[in-house]
Chains A and B, each alone.
Chain A
Amino acid sequence: MKRSLKIAIAAGATVAILGPLGYIWQRSLVPTTYDMAEMGYPDYGGGQVAGHVHRGGAGSSGAGSISVAALTGPSTGDPEVAVTLTARKEKSGRYTLNGQTPGPEIRAKKGQLVQVTLVNDNVTDGVTLHWHGVDVPNAEDGVAGVTQDAVQPGHSYVYRFVAQDAGTFWYHSHQVSHEQVKNGLFGAFVVTEPVFSEGIDEVVQVHTYDGRRTINGVAGESPLPARPGQVVRARVINTDAGPLRAWVTGAPYRVVAIDGRDVHGPTDISDKSVTVTAGGRVDLAFTMPSSAAARVDVGAGAAVVAGGTKATNEPTGVVDLLTYGTKDAYGFDPAKANRKFDYRIGRKAGFLDGKPGLWWSINGHLFPDVPMFMVTTGDIVRMTISNSSGEVHPMHLHGHHAVVLSRNGVAATGSPWWFDSLDVGDGETYEIAFVADNPGIWVDHCHNLKHAADGLLAHLAYTDVYTPYKIGDVAGNKPE
């Protein structure tokens, strides 16, 4: 063969390999500033496209007439709960709110107007506060670059919303969240029923700092100040990136609430633990035995303890929330769903913003080429979330509570299992449903926040809403 022909063949083979790779690489690049609602492709879930205008060639969304910035809580009225939280990055690398981590526990009664002023002292990346599990109006949701600009050092931002639902929630930064939450920028938010309830109401906020699992910031065992006969409500909040198991020793317990929604007809549990999804909350209730000895464990040696109760081995069984409790009405009919979405989580070789690797995929695509789930107010939405990625993903939808209809094809038979954070294990498929009743643009992402930063996030967008905020931009918005 002639030398020139050989070189031509070699050059051809090189182009055949590098050409497509270069194209895919170039396509994966994300602009430094962009409208999140313009990314990816709209998915109408079989529902009507009306009310939506395409903008841009690749398909877009959020071209509606209502600005996210207009979807605020009550702008007038004196707040019944008013708190100022000052965010600071300490020399140790920890983030604090009012000098502490976890940040101050905020308590409100159902129906009260809550006002939180977030002040950024010195966090150069900027900060926000997201009210995890609280279905606030969109502008109060605290997602940098989608519902607001990140709050810069020396600036402040006011969140105002009515605490509509009693339950256990938490707040955390949604700016560079995988770093800021991990290093302490979060706290508990509890909404109680207006009537006085007797007994002990204890937040058990779990966070692992530098390899040490803590409850309310304390590693190991903390005292539980409960007397015999008292009813204890332990509000377990998982602020970590992975699921944890919680259990009670010394008395039978009940799971009385999940993600800020009461469980209907909870029954006594002994010798079983309950899984608390990353970002999720589970309220455990039990009556203190006459011995005054009981404890709530959250694994890795962290527990709240009354009467010096010794640690026991973690129960091998786990409560199945699909069958726990008794049936009750959902308040809507999932069979009448007019939008049906798939949220298939996988893992795929490719480039994420130019970086080669095996990245999380949604419906076979890598971020930013992911679906924008489009709905209109009043829609009944069904979504099938499946996971074949090899790892568990705690999926969190902002602004809404959804109910689990089935898991791996097995219908839910227990209490309506309302959630905002759902552990979707490898090989599992959940069918869920919810009512689109909170207009805005809402993140629907993995709450292992590093996974979200690596592209495991999509959005639920109402067709008539657009966002004036941008990812990147002068504010340096970087929500994940």
Chain B
Amino acid sequence: MPDLLLEFFSEEIPARMQARAAEDLKKMVTDRLVAAGLVYEGAKAFATPRRLTLSVHGVPVRQPDIKDERKGPKVGAPEQAIAGFLRAAGLTSIDQAKVQADKKGDFYVAVIEKAGKPAIDVIAEMMPEVVRSFPWPKSMRWGAASAKPGALTWVRPLHSIIATFGPETEDPEIVKFAIEGVAVGNETCGHRFMAPGAFTVRRFDDYVDALEKAKVVLDASRRMDIIRADAKNLAFAQGYELVEDEGLLAEVAGLVEWPVTLMGSFDKAFLDIPGEVIRATIRTNQKCFVLRDPQTAKLVNKFILVANIEASDHGKAIVAGNERVIRARLSDAKFFYDTDLKTRLEDRLPKFEQIVFHEKLGTQAERIARITALAGQLAPLVGADVAKAERAAQLCKADLLTEVVGEFPELQGLMGKYYAEAQGEDEAVAHASEDHYKPKGPDDMVPADPVSIAVALADKIDTLVGFWAIDEKPTGSKDPYALRRAALGVIRIILDNQLRLKLLNIVATHYGVMAGLVPAIHALATKKKKDVDARVKPGHDGVGGELLSFFADRLKVQLREQGARHDLVDAVFALEGQDDLLMIVRRVEALGKFLDTDDGKNLLAGVKRASNILRIEEKKEVTIYAGGPNRDLYKLPEEETLADEINRAKIATKRAIENEDFEGAMGHLARLRPFVDAFFDKVTVNADDKALRENRLKLLNEIREATRAVADFSKIEG
């Protein structure tokens, strides 16, 4: 079966867009092929800085024929109706229609047979739309054609298109379609400098070979492999190790068609600058790799660059040029670093009064004051020294105003740590600058030092409380302030460090801080929720609970990912006033273990049975069977025994829970099982005597209540 080859040859496509564009091209073309009934065998897409290529193999030669029947009017219908039918069906005479009978009589039926078109024509028809509706993140017009409305747009000027179609055994044909100003055919060009000439191609195989000869490696993953292997070899040959960087590798592979890896060096004196700054300078600005000494793991004064050309002097001039640029960049970085060291972090703080954190949440200075207050309050709860936690909170954002962080925002926190160390801060205080941002993602470490914990929690809780207060909560996929990540961070810090915190209290107190520290600017009423200012206190009613349920949702996601049953999480959260995350998790764990035992399963069955009966009866009678049963009304020994056992279990579970011994509590409940079973065996709940019936229902409620000490069993599945 024939193959399709497409190549879009343009001016340089931004590296970050290439991979996505290749996939988009594949999807756009293959979706249309399938929709046209052309089911293909396989498709591969590629991108280089100057071309997007798609190879589809095993495309049928033509579309299948389509047979369509159209029902018309009754035989003997008025002439107008028949004429209309003929027109709609494309027939010239009614003799061309078939007559079919159904229960109402005879009808005309037009059989419209559409012969499948040759695939090459189908492709030719769909190509202009593929080109015109290509989903580039940003596209542009160019040249004389751009004077007219509706001009072609592409990511950068598009110069030519290869479109060939045909079986392996023959010369493929050129797919004929027209795009204004763009040549469509079987011709492309090689490397911009080393093989700029045009050449013709037939199909994918010879196309790839011809490109290779013209110094173009079509496949980005191959370019990455070449760069990775060459860079490692160059490093190894000199006794160094490449600091691998997949993101940079992908970007660099998108900047070259013919990767040539070279090594350069810089003055050893620059190694006084922190390694991260050197790496950021060389990576961000120059898109080069850094190397380290495998023994010490410290950076060495070498870098790897990837050029796009085999230069006539074997890269001497290129290396020299890059070395000069890197020298200038590192001089700048060193200057920034040295300048930063001259100002103490606390002396930078007044500037934050001029910087707005968020229109409704005040300035950065106000935010830092809130974080400091909260960190001070949290410190004793997490085992941190109050003074250190406050100091750390005060300084933790100061590096945002340094030159190095201004240049490389990704070094925020880390630079704060270096500068704090340099000015002789306590080690825990210095580390909090870096660690209070953690965890930055699911794979990031959680801070473990108490001072960092206090500041990290304060930072995240202030963010959450603030945005909740102004009603800027995440919705659907939109979470511009990364509030989900902040909540998950709080959860992980609490759980990993086994912290005992009453979140509801903390959140409520912080609302007070938010309203108190910062005077309200907008005197807004609470009419429209969107207009609630964080600093207007009446607007905050109930927000604490909402925020807590947000934590609950994040915790559920987290626990589910760790394999916990979501119904167990729900069963624990259904209890009132659960805001101690660590205890919630312990309860869930204990509950899970308990339900794995036979006693647990049977008790659950008994409790469910009791709950179901209660639910049905309570619904029927529109009442709730609460309150203790009357001892005098017990008729059978099973009733009395169960009541006694429940009372005993209640007291024992309560004590166990007070001691946070959830497994023990479950054990006490488990002992109820035979009595519950016996009760259901011997006792008829729906007795004819109304008082007796009510009393038994109340006893059932007691079963339910007793288990509520550990979880809401009605939420548990199974």
A binds B: no
